[in-house]
Each structure stands twice: as structure tokens, then as C-alpha cells.
Structure 1
Amino acid sequence: MTDPGWPRIGVDIGGTKIAVGLVHRDGGVTDRRVRATPAAAGADRVLATVIDLVRELAPAAACVGIGAPGAVDVRTGTVRFATDLLPGWAGTPVGGTVESATGLRTLVDNDVNVLALGELRRGAAIGNDAVLYVSVGTGVGGALALGGRIVRGARGVTGELGHLSVAGPVSARRCGCGRTGHLEAVASGPAIEAAYGAPGPDLREIARRAHAGEARAGAVITGAAVALGRTLGGLVSALDPRALVLGGGVSGIGPLFTDPLADALRAEVLPPLRTIPVLTAGLGLDAPLVGAALLPEDLADPVRGRDPVSAVPGPDDAVDEPGGNHNSCRAKRI
């Protein structure tokens, strides 16, 4: 028996690889495909690779959801702002280009937002309507869900946790934005590697040494975890989420990282907040694909039938273009 609106194609555009897969209603992923991201070749080539992969799965799919780096205008599927992870990525009309080339309705959001959405609806955070999701890997990113929906803010940049200033001694290492003292320059994977010493081992080797009992490796990991936990404590105090979910490669170190993080967080907050669950993301490699496939439900406003990112009508609201009507997952209108 067919399942109307499913399966859907989930797409994860990363700095080194692009992954796609058919996502089913229960969160299962089949027909996963992966290709290297041709980042140096520019945005057009990256999109061409995405389109090739989507076309391979298109006959079986109802629509496409994409998680992309940078701040995304979810109404149009265009990248508003991006770092140099993908050269020339800012301003790229991801949604419109993929939809025009494939004939499938295509929705696009920030990559960390879709990770959070996957965990919220199909992963570790099921049953929690207010969740702070934190991804710690090459960088530090976050997403906030309130009322069971992702909050994107007035400009689509909610969750840029990596650019929060860290209390205490300021790291001399520069953040990707060019400034020092930011969380990303203290608690990310590259920050841990730099703190251990260069030239030195990569994050995986540092974690192995820490698990083997090496004091130096353990101290570096603990230092990053405590800095992150103290900073997140301020956010938890301000937002009062039901749960905190940790994802990303650094969180994968396990209790050597997550335990001191949770202890530092709980030491910062008021007593009523000290019982907040600190959860580890559960979807693994499927998370970005599952979350991207769930964008139609998250972006559909049941009252207005439009994107809830802003209550103020935008210049594109009356235009029938990709991203303009989110409560459908069907073929592109001709």
C-alpha cells in the first residue's frame, strides 16, 4: 500500500560530502547515496551534484528536503549568509534551482535546524516540545524548538551558538568569523586539537588517548566541555527548555565530554533547572536526512498556510515560487 506524501528525498549538503536518501514516514532511510562535495568548484557545481543525486531517487519520491550550511530564507530556499565552508555559497538559490531541475517541491533550511528537527520528531527528543539542540563538531551550532517547531528568528540565524563569547580566559584561537573568545574557538573539534598542541593528533586520537587515561588529553577535552557547559547554562536559564540534546562528532566522545559538560551546565543554572535532561542525539548518520524530510510539516502554518518564521508579510508572500506554500509535499506546479 502506498503512503501518500512519502517517501521523501532527504539531502544533506556538507563541506566534504553530499548525502541523500529516501526517507519514510517512520524515519527509516533507504537508498542512501553519497558523493564528495565539489566545494572548490563553486556553488553551481555543488548544486549540479545535488540535482544528479536527487534525480536518481526522484521517481519514488513525493518531495525534497535539504539541509544546507548557512542562514537560509526558508520562504525561497535561498542561502542568505554563509561562511567560506563552501566558496560562493551565500546568495545561492538552492530550493528554486533543485525544484526547477527535478520537478519536485523542494524545501531548504539550515543544516543544524534539520538535525534538531530529526531528533525532535523521530529521535532522542521525541515527546519534548521545547528543546535546545547543540551540535559540536568542526564548529559549534545550535537550534531551538518551541511548541514543537523550530524557531528561526527574524533573520533566519537563530542558533548561531558558536559566536557566543566564552566567560573566563579568552582563547587566542580565532573563530571562523575572525574574532577570538567565541565558543567555536574553544569547544569545537579543531579547537580541541589546537589546545592539545600542533602538530598533534586529530580529535579521534585525542579521544582515544583520553579514554586510555592520558592526563593531557583528558584535560583538554574536559576544558572544552566545561566551557561549553557553562555557556549553555546561560542559555538554559534564559530559555528553560524541557531538554538539551547534544549532537556532532565531539559529543560522540561520550561521557568523557558529556559528563563534565552536564556538570558545568547544572552548576550555572538555578535549582529548578538542574534536573534538565542532557540527551545524546540518537539518529546518527540518518539525522540530517530525516530532519530535512520533515520540513514540510515544520514549515506549514496550520492557521495561515504559510511560513511561521515571520508574522509580517514579506515581499515574496504573494508570489507563487519555491518555498511559498509549505503545507504541501507534491510535484511542482507547472
Structure 2
Amino acid sequence: MTDGRHGDGSLGDRSLGDGRHGDGSLGDAVLAVDIGGTKTAVALLDGEHAVLAMAQAPTPGADGPDAIIGTVVALAQQVVERAPGARVVATGVGTAGTVDVDRGAIVWATETLADWAGTPLAASLRSRLAPLVGDAPVQVQNDVDAHALGELRRGAAAGARSALMVAVGTGIGASVIVDGRVLRGHRHVAGAFAHVPVGAAGLRCTCGRVGHLEAIGGGLGLHRHYLALGGDRSVADARGVAGRAPHDPIARRAVADSAAAVGRAIAGAATLLDPELVVLSGGVVAAGAVWWAPMESALRTELIEVLHDLPVVAGSLGGAAPLHGAAAAAWEMVGA
């Protein structure tokens, strides 16, 4: 696949030989970084969005900013070494947390990444990557915004002028596309879908409050809801709950409750924004019909008639979307 994806949506290395210039070089490229709550990935992409090299590692979220940035730098070293002849002209980053894009700084984050709030990420990465890529600029945005930009440029939302992107994985987030651009918001929190109050009684959100969407709609919330309903405590995570749903009534209820909460919240957002389409992605969405059916049923039940034909589709880039979005932002930063 020319964009470097495997059939499962993951990124793989492209053969380097077919992208070399006549002088044997690979030409200009950008580093794309995806810092998630559990995994950090770095890829090197050329001007045609083909992946030259990619590496990933667990995110040391509990160890603080220095460890997280150190992981990014180590992964960047790996991918640059695997693509000799490529000249890195910029770095694009998608990261968990609320981001002031103009400053490249984290202004707020949940407990998933310890002490992440306040991190001057663009400046720190530019300094620590300098021995590897020189003075190449660094652009930082929220990871779900990067995900949305990837789907807008190369995936399920390609060609759309407006879209609501919802990512449901360990946590939950959203991004709003208006006139082909990501809507950031005055305080940088546009799309903070996780913290929409949905009345999830007694369920604590990662922000510390009770009753937010992430407390039941995200993977961690789904798993906790299953256990609270009396589910088997040997089941380790949301994936395990979804796998049991066809034959376990408690698991089936937990998945349905979680999915319906997401569907109702999407209906509210769609009514407010009237997007051209809604794109859903993430590990929980990948559970398939056992999750999708109750989500869409709840969503359609709440939509007013004028929105009855709203397209609701699965993302097409999978886990590659944030990297493609980060790369797109990096290229835009240098005018390519």
C-alpha cells in the first residue's frame, strides 16, 4: 500500500529503494509522532505520504515528561537511521492532552500522563531532536485532532468540508472539522468529548469528576462498568468484555450501555454542529457489531428528522490516522 499501511490499518516500512532520487537520496521527509496514553509511535514519511520507516514503544506515562520525550527521541533516532539519505524538514506531533497549538505546549492533561500539563513540548522536542535533524520546526496538536486530520486528508473524511471525528479507545475524544480545518476553540478544548456530562452515575472520569462520557464510553469505563455490574473479575479489559458479549449477558449489557452513551452524545454534538458526516475510530469501535449496533441505535433514536440521513462511518486509516495527520500538519508548516 503506497501510504505504508497494512490491511489492519497499521503502518509498516516501505521498501526504501523505490523512493530514492537519482543521486541515491530519499529527499525531504517529515517525522510524525503519536503520543498516546499507552503507546508512542514515530514514523518518517516522504512528500508523497509514503512511510519510509516506523517504530513504536510503550508510553512511560507514569514517569513524567522527560521520560516521554526521551521515548520520542529514541524512536526518532531509530527511524532516521533506517532511512539514510532522507532529510527531515519538520516534525509533526499528535499527543494526548489539551494543546495550545500556537505555543506547542500542553495546557491540560488527565492523570494518564503524569505532570504532562505545562510541558513546552514543541520547544523541548526541537532542542532534543536538534542533534538528529538540525533546526527543523516542530508542530504539536492534540492526538484526536491529528487523527481527524489524517482521516480528512487521506481517509474516510477525504473531500468533506465538515466532519465530527470521534475516537473511542482506552479513553474517548473528538475533533471538529469546519471548512476543511480543525476547530481548536478559544481555550484549546474544542472536541473534548470525553468530558461531556452524560449522567453516568457513580462512574469517575479520568479528570476526577463523576458522570462524564469517558467514565462509561471509553474502554476503561466500559471495563469498570462491567465489573460494577457483577462481571467476571478475571476479564482484564474492554476487549475481553466485548469478546464475551455474545454469550455473557452482563458483558452484553455493559457493552450496550457504553455504546449507547457514546451514541447519544454523538447525537447531541451532531445536532449542535450539523457536520457533513461522523467518523468513528479506535480500539473499542473495532469490537464490531456488538458495539456498533447499540451505538447507532441510540444515536438514530435521538436525532431529529432533518438529520436522519447523517452518514456515520468507520475510519479507514485505523491506528495510522494520527501519524498521517501529524505528517500533514508538518508538511503544511513548511509550505509543502
Range into which the TM-score falls when normalised by the shorter chain: 0.7 to 0.9
Match of 1:35 among 57, 69, 81: 57
Q: Does 1:74 align with 2:125?
A: no
Counterparts in 2 of 1:294-333, with a 5 A limit?
Answer: 294-296=328-330, 326-328=333-335
Q: Does 1:11 align with 2:11?
A: no
Native 8 Å contact 1:23 1:289 kept in 2 = no
Native 8 Å contact 2:138 2:330 kept in 1 = no
Match of 1:188 among 196, 210, 218: 218
Partner of 1:317: none
Q: CA deviation at 1:6?
A: 4.6
- Residue 62 of structure 1 aligns to a residue in which SS? strand
Q: Does 1:99 align with 2:121?
A: no
Match of 1:135 among 167, 172, 184: 167
Report the identity percentage: 39
Q: CA deviation at 1:5?
A: 8.3
Q: CA deviation at 1:158?
A: 0.7
Counterparts in 2 of 1:1-334, with a 5 A limit?
Answer: 6-58=28-80, 60=86, 61-101=88-128, 102=130, 103=134, 104-166=136-198, 170-197=200-227, 199-201=233-235, 202-210=237-245, 212-296=246-330, 326-328=333-335
**C-alpha distance in 2 between matches for 1:290 and 1:6:** 16
**C-alpha distance in 2 between matches for 1:19 and 1:145:** 24
Per-residue CA deviations over 1:154-184 (Å, capped at 9, x if unaligned) read 11111111111115xx421101122211111
When residues 70 and 5 of structure 1 are mapped into structure 2, their CA distance, relative to the original with a 3 A threshold, is farther
- Residue 222 of structure 2 aligns to a residue in which SS? helix
**C-alpha distance in 1 between matches for 2:77 and 2:239:** 35
Per-residue CA deviations over 1:244-283 (Å, capped at 9, x if unaligned) read 0111111111122112212211221221211111111111
**Stretches of 4+ moved more than 6 A in 1?**
none
**C-alpha distance in 1 between matches for 2:220 and 2:137:** 37
**C-alpha distance in 1 between matches for 2:52 and 2:297:** 38
- Residue 92 of structure 2 aligns to a residue in which SS? strand
When residues 48 and 156 of structure 1 are mapped into structure 2, their CA distance, relative to the original with a 3 A threshold, is same
**C-alpha distance in 1 between matches for 2:296 and 2:26:** 42
Aligned pair count? 299
When residues 195 and 45 of structure 1 are mapped into structure 2, their CA distance, relative to the original with a 3 A threshold, is closer
Per-residue CA deviations over 1:186-233 (Å, capped at 9, x if unaligned) read 2111221122226241222211122x4333222221111111111211
**C-alpha distance in 2 between matches for 1:63 and 1:262:** 40
Q: CA deviation at 1:36?
A: 2.7
Native 8 Å contact 2:30 2:330 kept in 1 = no
**C-alpha distance in 2 between matches for 1:5 and 1:89:** 34
Native 8 Å contact 1:113 1:142 kept in 2 = yes
TM-score, with length taken from structure 1: 0.83
When residues 24 and 206 of structure 1 are mapped into structure 2, their CA distance, relative to the original with a 3 A threshold, is same
Structure 2, unaligned stretches of length 5 or more?
A: 1-19
TM-score, with length taken from structure 2: 0.83
Native 8 Å contact 1:171 1:185 kept in 2 = no
Native 8 Å contact 2:90 2:334 kept in 1 = no
Native 8 Å contact 1:247 1:280 kept in 2 = yes
CA RMSD of aligned residues (A): 2.1
Q: CA deviation at 1:4?
A: 10
